[in-house]
Structures are given as structure tokens and as C-alpha cells.
Amino acid sequence: EVQLVQSGAEVKKPGESLKISCKGSGYAFTTYWIGWVRQMPGKGLEWMGIIYPGDSKTRYSPSFQGQVTISTDKSISTAYLQWSSLKASDTAVYYCGIGVAPSGWLDPWGQGTLVTVSS
Amino acid sequence: DIQMTQSPSSVSASVGDRVTIACRASQGISSWLAWYQQKPGKAPKLLIYAASSLQSGVPSRFSGSGSGTDFTLTISNLQPEDFATFFCQQAISFPPTFGGGTKVEIK
């Protein structure tokens, strides 16, 4: 079964750093893109960026460029999304998903990671 | 970025009804459109890709149509498990963008 399993919920303070993960299984991890999508509380879906684990080629949505870093460790079939300095406005659920192209649809998705940033 | 506009934002319907959701792109996207279903507290699930192709395992009561700028998701014979929020997504240019969502509620 093709599956993405994300790391657990996080509660952080403004200014702290964070790295969440997305582990793939059941498929050739290095031959598909992994995209990240944000969903703020009660809101819609926002595409953040995408990475190709085979060569770590990464593309960011302009809205998220410089705000987050997407990376991968193909030796453990895991992609990451990280922040160096969190803000309260980063409070959201973050999803990863498998894509066949940088602009394509995602399927399947991970279960989501809730990040809460509060002082 | 390409803007995706869904309508209506919410719809009330009964089990057995036929529901139609519209999605309009701010510029032509050929058939590069996907539809997702999201239930509360769950990740989105891909229903339709390439505007009208049904993803494996998705019931045939879901169908998609359209090309260019105007697209439609139709749910025929609405079932209790179909009450959810639906999103469209353009997949032709980077960054991909989503519609604002349509919540299908129980009448």
C-alpha cells in the first residue's frame, strides 16, 4: 500500500524552530514528487512547495519562498518541512502528498500534522 | 497565479439528490484540473483528475466535466458518506492553486 505517514502534532512558541516529517512507504520514493500544502484553521488549501527526492530539486510557491525549507533524506524515504522562526500565523495543519509533476495533483496524502504556535 | 473560483460555497442537499459544484479558472487550463473531497479532521482525497478521470476506488456516482476555464463536479444519488467539503485544483502551472471549497451539508 502506498502511504505517507507524517510526524505528530507540535506546540511551539513564536520564534522557535521546527522540522516536521513525511515518511513514504510502498512505492519508489525517489521517483515521485512530494508536495506540501497548508490549511489554516477553518480555511482552504494552499500549495507551499514540492521536492523531487531523486535529486532534491525543489520549487516553492512565491508566497512561501524564504518562509520555509523543504528537504528530503532519501535514505529513509522521508521528506521534511522546516521553519527557522515560527510565527503565530504559522498555526495550521500541514499535509504532504505524492505528485507525479511539480504542478500536478497529489495522491495519496499524509494524515496531516497540526502545528500550533502560541506564546 | 491562476485563480480558481468555486460556486456555491455551500449547498444543502438530501440523500439521493444530485449535486453539482462549479469551478472556474481565471485563464484556460485545458483539462488540467483535479477534484478532492475532504471530511472533517481528515486529509483531502483525490476524486477526479484530468477534469473527468475517476481515481481508482472512487464510486462512479462522482463525475467531472469541463475544459478550458469552466468545470463541474457532479455527485449523483448523494450518499450519507458524501457530506464533506470539495476542492478543485488547477494542475497546469506552478504554483498549483485551489478553489475556495464547497461544503455539501445535510438538508
Residues B19-31: tens digit of each pLDDT: 999 999 999 999 9
Distances (CA, A) of A13 to A38, A95, B62, B99: 19, 21, 43, 31
Q: Which residues of A touch B36 (CB under 8 A)?
A: 45
Query: Tens digit of pLDDT per residue, chain A (119 long)?
Result: 999 999 999 999 999 999 999 999 999 999 999 999 999 999 999 999 999 999 999 999 999 999 999 999 999 999 999 999 999 999 999 999 999 999 999 999 999 999 999 99
- Name which of A76, A78, A98 is nearest A20 in CA terms: A78
Distance CA A37, CA A94 (A): 6
pLDDT at B81: 95
A112 Cβ under 8 Å from any chain B Cβ: yes
- Looking at residue B66, what is its pLDDT? 98
Q: What is the pLDDT of residue B37?
A: 98
Hey, are the CB atoms on B91 and A111 less than 8 Å from each other?
A: no
CB proximity under 8 Å: A 11-30 to B: none
Residue B107 has pLDDT above 90, yes or no: no
Q: What share of chain B is helix, strand, coil (3-state, %, to 5)?
A: 5, 50, 50
pLDDT digits (tens, 9 = 90+) for B4-58: 999 999 999 999 999 999 999 999 999 999 999 999 999 999 999 999 999 999 9
Collapsing DSSP to helix, strand or coil, A26 comes out as coil
How many angstroms away from the CA of A61 is the closest CA of chain B? 5
Angle at Cα A51 formed by Cα A49 and Cα A53, nearest 5°? Answer: 165
Q: Please tell me the distance in Å from A112's CA to the nearest CA on chain B.
A: 6
- The answer to whether the CB atoms of B44 and A110 lie below 8 A apart is no
Least Cα separation, residue A110 to chain B (angstroms): 7
Closest CA to B6 of B98, B80, B106: B98
* pLDDT given at position A50: 98
CA dihedral angle for residue A83, residue A85, residue A88, residue A91, rounded to 10 degrees? 10
Average pLDDT over residues B51-71: 98
What is the C-alpha separation between A116 and A67, in angstroms, rounded?
A: 16
Instruction: Please tell me which of the candidates B42, B91, B93 has its beta carbon nearest to residue A105.
Output: B91
* Residue B85: band (very low, low, confident or very high) from pLDDT cuts 50, 70, 90: very high
Inter-chain Cβ pairs, chain A and chain B, closer than 8 A: 63
